[in-house]
Amino acid sequence: MLKTTRTNFIKTKASELGFSFCGVSRAEFLNDEARRLDEWLRRNYQGKMSYLEKNFDKRLDPTKLVPGARSVVSLIYNYFPAKDLATKGDLKIAKYAYGEDYHTVVKDKLKLLLKSIHDEIGDVHGRAFVDSAPVMERAWANRSGIGWIGKNSLLLNREMGSFFFLAELIIDLELEYDGAGKDYCGTCTACMDACPTEAIPEPYVVDGSKCISYFTIELKEEIPAAVEGKFENWIFGCDICQDICPWNSFSKPHHESRFEPKPELGAMAKQDWIEISEEVFHKLFKKSALQRTKLSGLKRNISFITQIREG
């Protein structure tokens, strides 16, 4: 089968499975990203996320994840909700966490795509990744032409903004490679200006240790008093730099039933969050990404924002 035929098959099948965009890049060492990652770590922008300091070579060389890798297939899966639950002024959670955990939902799709490749093309070796393992997904997505890395360090797409998940297949199959995505941020600094914790110190660089998502999800200890009053009611994750981005005016609601929030989540008022019980937490977030912070972490975040201490 010709490279073009293989590539077209993969892109067509990806579309059938619900992926909005699919691009392909050559599996090779990421030289430019190596320098940037080294500098980012040197500045301690990873904060307490020590896992980002590990597997440096694996992050930059896909052949260390999949021996004999030839291609990186990058994919976009939309999660923009029909209704924004964070508009009524109560406590807020990031849009990506409204429904079932994306790791599971998108990984299921990737497994089907990989199976289709095996069935149609033959004995292809590879692995599927959804924000898992040391993969620099935004760099690969940019190289594959499905978007560019914005000043808030997220991947942007001209047709749908940035409210989507990235996923990859790293495979030992030669394919037709797409060109890199062009930067359309221009002189806009909306994301940088809007960040209340000043987590974007310069264009295209995010200080992870100052990001609201870091404080409310990654940080396991007490949130520092220095950022008190700066979270704008975000208790899990943060969408500020995305909500303000002009390109997200092109976002359209997803069609994934597993991302739909439970009706009870949309009805949660500030007092409901403050009084949330173990039972309600597990009912609302049984298969959600919110399980990552656990009820204790969520209560810590709520307490920090509302200044209502337990006990």
Active site residues: 131
The DSSP call for residue 215 is I
Place of tokens 């050559």: 26
Closest CA to 195 of 177, 173, 210, 181: 210
Tell whether the torsion through CA atoms of 267, 271, 273 and 279 is positive or negative. negative
Place of tokens 């977030």: 285
User: What is the maximal distance between C-alpha atoms in the chain?
Assistant: 67
CB within 8 Å of 290: residues ≥ 6 apart:
93, 97, 236, 281, 284, 298
Strand ranges in 31-141 using DSSP code E only, listed in sequence order = 71-78, 92-93, 126-129
- HSE of 52, CA atoms in CB hemisphere, 13 A: 20
Residues 217 and 167: their CA atoms lie apart, in Å, by 21
Kindly list the distances between the CA atom of residue 96 and the CA atoms of 135, 165, 181, 219, 256, in Å, as whole numbers in the listed order.
Answer: 20, 8, 24, 19, 12
Coil vs helix vs strand at 168: strand
Strand ranges in the chain using DSSP code E only, listed in sequence order = 21-26, 71-78, 92-93, 126-129, 148-149, 155-156, 164-171, 234-236
Closest CA to 22 of 157, 134, 126, 204: 157
